[in-house]
A and B are shown apart, each in its own frame.
Chain A
Amino acid sequence: MKELVEYMVKSLVDDPERVSVSELEGEQSVIYEVRVAPEDMGKIIGKQGRIAKAMRTIVKAACVKSGKKAVVEILE
């Protein structure tokens, strides 16, 4: 799942080197914290959060197979 988040974020930013995704495991869910270069923030959020929403939807779909809830958070 972490690879999925990384893959999506890296394919959308200008500076893939500065993408970091950390995984925080909870009992029922996993939180993925995404950090990118400040110039790339807009690119992974999108207009009206369109891209961030799309990424979350895809992660949610991928969870169907793994069975564990995943949350994507974008941090400044």
Chain B
Amino acid sequence: MKRSVEVSGKSLEEVLERASRYFDVPKEHLSYEVLSENKGFLGILVPKVVKVRVWVEDQEEEALDVATFEEAPRVSVQQEASQEKVPSNLEELQKVAVGFLRGLLDKMQVNVDITVRQEERGVVCAIDGKDAGILIGRKGETLEAMEVLLRTFLSKRGFETGYVELDIANYKKRREEALRKLAEKVAQKVIREKKRVKLEPMNARERRIIHTTLKEHPQVVTYSVGFEPGRRVVVELKEAREEKERDPEKKTGRNSPKSTGAEKRNRNSRKRPRKSGGQKKALGE
């Protein structure tokens, strides 16, 4: 069973920050689903609240006990987090990581260089050179695979592994930019065509990029559906999502395999009177 908590906060960023402290794992290891988002409907009257279900992707942490998030004493947790920020054996970790990678890459007979740098998010082992392309693989799968082995290798030797990352020829940054562009483009499409769009399956890190890119978007919301490795982000009109939450009946209707356009129109027209009644405030605005 996956551990998960429901957290509310002012922004997705803040919620994930708190969740990462609570689970004691880096944000990259968290998966989440936006349950509801209230962007402050009338600006001042309703506070901005985002409710998110967060869980840990990495199974290693499962043994920890489950508690509600509110119970976690915030101050002490913060202290722990700041202590953990810089592991005392940092130099050692860098040396071991590079040693392992050097051996691996030599045995793969590829011609590349390794450099290590300390970034805010942790130790980044950067690989670059003539053969870097081979090492990235299709959709970065070889890069992912090497990261899996590197982390397993390090954790076996007692290092904090959430702290270590691998990058090849700046692939991650380029991918992030591509994903941000994709997110914006999909958001436009959703608004233009007034229907939700399901993206291709992505890993947790990539999904998070889509979520964070669109989290402040005034018109669309994002959430994830399905299970790893087929988990996908869905981008949907905010008003459509909110309507679904108010009316669970409609949700089941939408989840049914295929509903014809005619059915949809009927349903919409049926709901219309109720909708206008429920949104008096909006009309008054």
Which A residues have a C-beta under 8 Å from some C-beta of B?
A: 3-4, 7-8, 11-12, 43, 46-47, 50-51, 53-55, 57-58, 60-62, 64-66
- SS class of chain A's interface: helix, strand, loop or mixed? helix
Main secondary structure of the interface of B (DSSP, over half): helix
Q: By the criterion CB–CB under 8 Å, are B142 and A61 in contact? A: yes
The reply to whether B153 and A58 contact each other, CB–CB distance below 8 Å, is: no
Residues A11 and B146 in contact in the complex (CB < 8 Å), given A4-B107, A57-B141, A61-B134: no
User: How many interface residues does chain B have, given as a range?
Assistant: 20 to 34
A57 to B134, CA, bound (A): 11
A65 x B152 contact (CB < 8 A): no
Kindly list chain B residues whose C-beta atoms are within 8 Å of the C-beta of A64. Answer: 134
Contact between A46 and B109 (Cβ–Cβ < 8 Å)? no
Give the one of A12, A46, A62 with max B CB within 10 A. Answer: A62
Chain A residue nearest to B148 in the complex (CB):
A54
Q: Beyond A43-B156, A54-B149, A61-B108, list 13 extra A-B contacts (CB 8 Å).
A: A4-B104, A11-B100, A11-B103, A12-B156, A46-B152, A51-B149, A54-B145, A55-B145, A61-B142, A62-B107, A62-B108, A62-B109, A65-B108
B266 within 8 A of A: no
The CA of A11 and the CA of B156, in the complex, are separated in Å by: 9
- Can you report 21 A-B residue pairs in the complex whose CB atoms are below 8 A from each other? A3-B107, A4-B104, A4-B108, A7-B104, A8-B104, A11-B103, A47-B59, A51-B148, A51-B149, A51-B152, A53-B145, A54-B145, A54-B149, A57-B142, A58-B104, A60-B142, A61-B108, A61-B134, A61-B137, A61-B142, A65-B134
